[in-house]
Amino acid sequence: MAELTVRDREGSPGKSAEPRTGAGAGLLRGIATKLGTALIVLFCVATVSFFLVRLSGDPVKLLLPPEATVEQEATLRASLGLDRPLLVQYLDYLAGLPKLDFGTSLFYDQPVAEVLFGRLPATLLLAGAAMVVCLLIAIPAGIIAALRRGRATDSGVMAGVLIGQSTPPFWVGILLILVFAVQFQVLPASGYGTFAHLILPAITLAVYSVAVIARLLRSSLIDVLGSDYIRTARAKGLGPRGVIVGHGLRNASLPVVTVIGLELGSLLGGAILTEQVFSWPGIGRLTVEAITNRDFPLVQASVLFFAAAFVVVNLLVDVSYTLLDPRVRLRS
């Protein structure tokens, strides 16, 4: 198993540091091990989702109107291959995975990969934009709150982000639509395609994550700013900017990066309400529809996509640790 190792603070880099090529090889080995683990995780997710989704009921009952006869149901079931033994269906599914062949969507009658990856640009765009909005607000908010700890500014900023976190996204979305689309008519109410369409959904989606990141950055920064090495840096005559950005923020960023990674994973798959409100053609909305329709192949592929997104983001977070903190190594 790959693990993160933090070297002893007092350890002399000069003596114990491996040659650079060795460090690079170690990093690659660590990534390879992580990827191996990720494959096992994805296999487990694929298996569990395959069997769990089949407990939800019979998709043929939803494909056909209630007037359909038993014979018509049986014919359709056979045409869709749903009458084959479960094990055969499972092995078929597994055999397709390496080729990214997830089967054919029962409802859309289209290859699942085509349906799913067709939504990917919209999902990445929204998640990426929301993360940019989120960081643009959360990082200054966290820094200001930490530097003004205990003062009115701190309370004000934290109260603001908390209100954001406590407000349901569908309500924020509708409110933004009413103000900017209906009242002032400066932004579109819904849809997809232009930069203007992205603004309201990105803000709506970012509002929740802002609080999570800002609060964590604040507490982390407060902790770091009380450290000895900050006092030393100040004693050496380093200016406030150098102290905060060069030493404080850098050291406070480790836990924040972890949370940013997790939040990005959530943004990729958790934008369901925002996508509904803004009619955004993303994967979250597609997944909800697939679950409602019992579109087995599509649900399986969506679950696998979300799992893969989390695995990749976590891997990136781990790699970023080694870049942020020289004491951290990815080890096999």
Nearer to other proteins, 180 or 306 (CB): 180
Residue 67 near other proteins by CB under 8 A: yes
Among 37, 47, 165, 190, binds other proteins (CB under 8 A): 190
Strands 3-6 and 328-331, how do they pair? antiparallel
Residue 106's nearest CA partner among 64, 71, 68, 66 is 64
Residue closer to other proteins (CB basis): 10 or 109: 109
- Whichever of 111 and 156 has its CB closer to other proteins, that residue is 111
Angular region, 279: left φ>0, alpha ψ -120 to 50, beta rest: left
Instruction: Note whether 123 and 280 are within 8 A (CB).
Output: no
Shortest Cβ distance from residue 72 to other proteins (Å)?
5
Judged by beta carbon, residue 148 or residue 327, the one nearer other proteins is: 327
- Largest Cα–Cα separation, the chain: 85
Site residues for other proteins, 269-298, by CB under 8 A, read: 276-279, 281, 285-286, 292, 294
232 is an interface residue for other proteins by CB under 8 A? no
Please identify, using beta-carbon distances, which residue of 222 and 286 lies nearer to other proteins: 286
Side chain identity at 167, as an amino acid letter?
A: T
301 CB burial (10 A radius; 0-12, 13-18, 19+): buried
Number of residues that bind other proteins (CB under 8 A): 72
Q: Single out the segment in contact with other proteins by CB under 8 A; choices: 149-157, 213-221, 229-237, 315-323.
A: 315-323
Q: DSSP letters along 38-80, please?
A: HHHHHHHHHHHHHHHHTTS--HHHHHS-TT--HHHHHHHHHHT
Q: Is 255 in the site for other proteins (CB under 8 A)?
A: no
Could you say whether residue 228 binds other proteins (CB under 8 A)?
no
Strand partners, 4: 330
To the nearest whole angstrom, how small is the minimum distance from the Cβ of residue 86 to other proteins? Answer: 18
